[in-house]
Structure 1
Amino acid sequence: MQRRQPRVAVLGAGSWGTAVASIVAVSAQTTIWARSAEVAEDIDSNGRNTRYLGDVALTEGLRATSDMERVVSEADVLIMGVPSHGFREALEQAAPYVRPWIPVVSLVKGLEQGTDHRMTQIVGEVLPGHPAGVLSGPNIASEIVAGYAAAATIAMPDQNSAAQLAALFRTERYRIYSTTDVLGVEVAGALKNVFAIAAGMGDGAGAGYNTKAMVITRAVREMTKFGEALGGDHKTFAGLAGTGDLIVTCTSPMSRNRRVGEELGKGKSIDEVMAGMHQVAEGVKAVSAVMDVADRLGIDMPIAAEVDGVVNKGGTAEDAYRGLLKDTPGHEVHGEGW
């Protein structure tokens, strides 16, 4: 007897939510919820998300609407692509229509301001009992929908669920690995955006490739130390969700967080930079939450602290790099600090 094709709901029609919806639509009935009726109409009628992805064709058969009940009520899998600052609100709006026990997969690489919660923690509060996980990796949305080869990791609380959901996302050019380290994958996704701002500040200030390599490498160490202190597996931070995503976010001209850092490095204020952004740069919102957690745990986070100084405390990129270089290096693996 042939199994029924799963029905998938994707909440959030930004560039990454749309890209993932287009991927999943290859193998499953997929409907995307857009806050904007205009964006939903463009996807549903024209097979495009012109606002966020230009004229790139999406998978035929992908449906879209701005009607939350219609999207969620029959879904077998719920995928959350809403940015961190709107994640809880959107999930609460969806909650009355979510079928019992279906898995919820977050695409968000950030932390909730005010609570410092990861997105799966929010799922646990709003939809208790639903298995909650995360998809993350070195994925630039425009490259994914254009068909370039890429890979990501799906993390779920148990390996069987992770493997089953991996099959939902996997295509010929999109490789999906699985893990049960939900915390580690989420932490890596939030931190890499903060570190991309640091790398971008170097770009804007005219620093060289040696400097960028130094920042990326030490950021891996800082990310791993932070994640392990929270209970993550150190191996996660050497993988796709950690080092892989960090590399692409620190180097790609398409990276929003790197671009924020670049503009800061050129001398603009954070208010000026954000006024010119048309999409969310999660690192800007995540850095204060990261520092809150680091302070509670007593973890030294020199790179994140310098980014926080520029984003939230009126510092400059020049101040940040000067502060980092003042630190005296110790043992590369076991030493404290930068």
Structure 2
Amino acid sequence: MKEMTKKIAVLGAGSWGSILASVLVENGNQVMLWTNSEEQAKELNEKHTNEHYIHDYTYPKELITTLDLKEAVTGADFVLFAIPTKVIRPVAQQLLEVLKELSIKPILIHASKGLELGTHKRLSQVITEEIPEEYRSGMVVFSGPSHAEEVANKDITLITAASQNLDNARAVQKIFMNKYLRIYTNTDVIGVEVGGAFKNIIAIGAGILHGLKYGDDAKAALMTRGLAEISRLGVALGADPSTFMGLSGVGDLIVTCTSVHSRNWRCGNQLGEGKKLDDIIQNMGMVIEGINTCKAAYELGNQLNLTLPICHAMYNVLYNDADIQEEIEKLMTRPGKSEIEKYDEC
């Protein structure tokens, strides 16, 4: 028996949101893409392109883009957040008013990676704080080693759908799965969100090493010890340590630390080449999530009394204008440690 078409609202028409919307259309779903940019909506609806974010890609004609949140969400079985971390809360607040008016309870999904500044809350926490249970059927986190550009090219990509309710994770798995996009389910929401958020900090560091002309040994060292810090922080927050050996842990770390598609890596690479952070941010034209996440991780690590030396070094570079080579030397000359440590030890 053929699956019934699902109605899906995708909030955010950046690179990731627009490509996920395209995938969902190709998979036979009815999709409306919401943006607050009139120019972008016009381009997507008339030319079926989104050149500022994805070059040389044609979106399905069936994909409709709208400026009206109510129109996008009307009749939706799923609502997918694919927007920058800093606007998750205000958009969730807008969505709640629409859900109340429409009297519907969609499954909510978020595909963003970061922590809310100030509160240090994971994004699923922010969304569920703003949208009570009576207005949602579930909350699913969609995260893993993925670049919009490669999904657009139909490269093989594997992603995790995480939810405390496994049926909801399976529902999301079903709408996204196809020949080039494979989805795995997980119930460790904390681990999946922490891995997705904190790898961006390490990716900026990997870019810095590349910009400074360090070799593969240094990059491997950074990723390996960076994963140890991600795991240490995640477990302190209640995550399952095994999650960090999966797609949203080591998988996402590898792809973000080694690819020119990563805005975080490109930011770090330019820092390593001697460019100023303010200029990099201004010229990037898109959000560099690792910068704000680094601040949140630094503050959260201090709050939890955790030792996160790489995170601290990155914070000093990004927020205190510290000399990069001096920070690297400090990391390398720390007192000797055992590699195998319990997660609650420094």
| C-alpha distance in 2 between matches for 1:139 and 1:3 | 26
Residue 294 of structure 1 aligns with an amino acid whose one-letter code is G
Alignment correspondent of 2:257: 250
Question: Gapped runs of 5+ residues in structure 2?
Answer: none
Residue 108 of structure 1 aligns with an amino acid whose one-letter code is S
| C-alpha distance in 2 between matches for 1:200 and 1:318 | 14
The number of residue pairs the alignment matches comes to 337
Q: Aligned with 1:333: secondary structure?
A: coil
Classify 1:329/1:44 alpha carbon distance in 2 versus 1 (closer, same or farther; 3 Å).
Answer: farther
| C-alpha distance in 2 between matches for 1:148 and 1:59 | 18
- C-alpha deviation, 1:60, in angstroms: 4.1
8 Å CA contact 2:207–2:266 kept in 1: the answer is yes
- Tell me whether 1:83 sits opposite 2:87 in the alignment: no
Alignment correspondent of 2:74: 73
- Tell me whether 1:232 sits opposite 2:232 in the alignment: no
Alignment correspondent of 1:5: 5
Alignment correspondent of 1:102: 106
- C-alpha deviation, 1:164, in angstroms: 1.6
- C-alpha deviation, 1:3, in angstroms: 5.8
> For residues 34-76 of structure 1, what are the alpha-carbon distances to aligned partners after superposition, in whole Å with 9 as ceiling and x for unaligned?
1111111222222221221022122341111111111012211
- Residue of 302, 319, 323 corresponding to 1:316: 323
- C-alpha deviation, 1:269, in angstroms: 2.4
TM-score w.r.t. length of structure 1: 0.96
- C-alpha deviation, 1:2, in angstroms: 6.5
| C-alpha distance in 2 between matches for 1:320 and 1:202 | 12
> For residues 286-305 of structure 1, what are the alpha-carbon distances to aligned partners after superposition, in whole Å with 9 as ceiling and x for unaligned?
11111111111111111111
- Tell me whether 1:282 sits opposite 2:289 in the alignment: yes
| C-alpha distance in 1 between matches for 2:194 and 2:324 | 24
Moved more, 130-139 or 209-218: 130-139
| C-alpha distance in 2 between matches for 1:95 and 1:329 | 52
Q: How is 1:182-201 mapped onto 2 (pairs within 5 angstroms)?
A: 182-201=189-208
> For residues 54-105 of structure 1, what are the alpha-carbon distances to aligned partners after superposition, in whole Å with 9 as ceiling and x for unaligned?
2212234111111111101221100001100111112212221124432111
| C-alpha distance in 2 between matches for 1:333 and 1:133 | 33
| C-alpha distance in 2 between matches for 1:205 and 1:106 | 35
Residue 130 of structure 2 aligns with an amino acid whose one-letter code is V
Q: How is 1:162-311 mapped onto 2 (pairs within 5 angstroms)?
A: 162-311=169-318
Residue 196 of structure 2 aligns with an amino acid whose one-letter code is G
> For residues 150-184 of structure 1, what are the alpha-carbon distances to aligned partners after superposition, in whole Å with 9 as ceiling and x for unaligned?
11001012111111210111111001000011111
Alignment correspondent of 1:26: 26
Alignment correspondent of 2:165: 158
Q: Aligned with 2:185: secondary structure?
A: strand
Moved more, 267-276 or 136-145: 267-276
Q: Percent identity?
A: 34
Q: Aligned with 1:199: secondary structure?
A: helix
- C-alpha deviation, 1:218, in angstroms: 0.8
Q: Aligned with 2:155: secondary structure?
A: coil
Question: Gapped runs of 5+ residues in structure 1?
Answer: none
Alignment correspondent of 1:51: 52
Alignment correspondent of 2:122: 118
Residue 77 of structure 2 aligns with an amino acid whose one-letter code is D
Moved more, 236-245 or 84-93: 84-93
8 Å CA contact 1:87–1:119 kept in 2: the answer is yes
Residue 120 of structure 2 aligns with an amino acid whose one-letter code is D
| C-alpha distance in 2 between matches for 1:252 and 1:258 | 7
- C-alpha deviation, 1:113, in angstroms: 1.0
- C-alpha deviation, 1:197, in angstroms: 0.8
